[in-house]
Amino acid sequence: MKKLLFIRRMLCIVFAIITVTVANAQEKKKVGGFMNRTGDHLMLQLTSDYWMGTPDSIDQRINGFARGANVYVMLDQRFKSAPQWSVAFGVGVGTSNMYFRNMVVDIKSKNNTLPFNVVDSVDHFKKYKLTTAFLEIPLEIRFTLKPLQEMKSFKFAIGGKVGTLLNVHTKGKTLLDKNGATLNTYTAKETGKGYFNSTRLAATARIGYGNFSLFGSYQFNNIFKDGVAGDVKLGQVGLNFSGL
């Protein structure tokens, strides 16, 4: 708990520093080879999430409504010699929620491999999810067709991001018996990062118009540590909201 509170405080400090940096940058007309940008420097992404590479025994248990959310504070600089192009970087948090049907992911296990336990014939939770959260640094190369009318312009961006693992937890709600009858309405939560890679590397791409764009992300490295589970990658697609 103390570690989580420390991480939250550090995130607040980092976001405050970047916000001040952006505000100071807006007071300048030109810096080096870049032109100053104004506008909304917050980027929000709502995603539909997929695990790629899972065996059939796990894949058929993953609920199709898996989803995530990514929030970043970005600093964007446009090239003076090519104002349609800019480079952007920032910091933020990326989360992913994978939902399972009649399956428990035992992240507190002491086994050498991560147990994915089928619970069809025993007491189980009506709703069960596995959540991961990363502190991430995104980097993008951006193109805006009409740089002087950003809110009425076609845009696209390609880039990548690197992240460090903040938290992994599972949460189950509403305990049912094997026949589906409700036994208890409590919520059970477990936390444990031992089976998961502490670093995430991903490629990103966006295309859209004005404040809205379609977003895609593909993780290059395995979600799990070597040998504890299959070679599984996270894919995300969804909507991106940003003034940049």
Its pTM stands at: 0.84
CA-derived radius of gyration, the chain? 21
Predicted local confidence at residue 150, as pLDDT: 83
Express each pLDDT in 173-205 by its tens digit: 999 998 989 999 889 999 999 999 999 999 999
Note whether 242 and 43 are within 8 A (CB).
yes
For residues 159 and 142, give the distance between their C-alpha atoms in angstroms, rounded to a whole number. Answer: 9
Residue of 69, 61, 64 whose CA lies nearest to 42? 69
Predicted local confidence at residue 244, as pLDDT: 66
Residue of 230, 219, 193, 199 whose CA lies nearest to 50? 219
pLDDT confidence bin for 29, thresholds 50/70/90: very low
- Per-residue pLDDT for 212 more than 60? yes
Express each pLDDT in 116-136 by its tens digit: 999 999 999 999 999 999 999
CA 60 to chain centre: 23
Mean pLDDT of 136-145: 96
- Per-residue pLDDT for 13 more than 70? no
Instruction: Record the tokens describing residue 59, joined without a space.
Output: 């894949």
Note whether 127 and 172 are within 8 A (CB).
yes
Predicted local confidence at residue 148, as pLDDT: 84
Q: Where are the domains of the chain?
A: 2-242
- Per-residue pLDDT for 1 more than 60? no
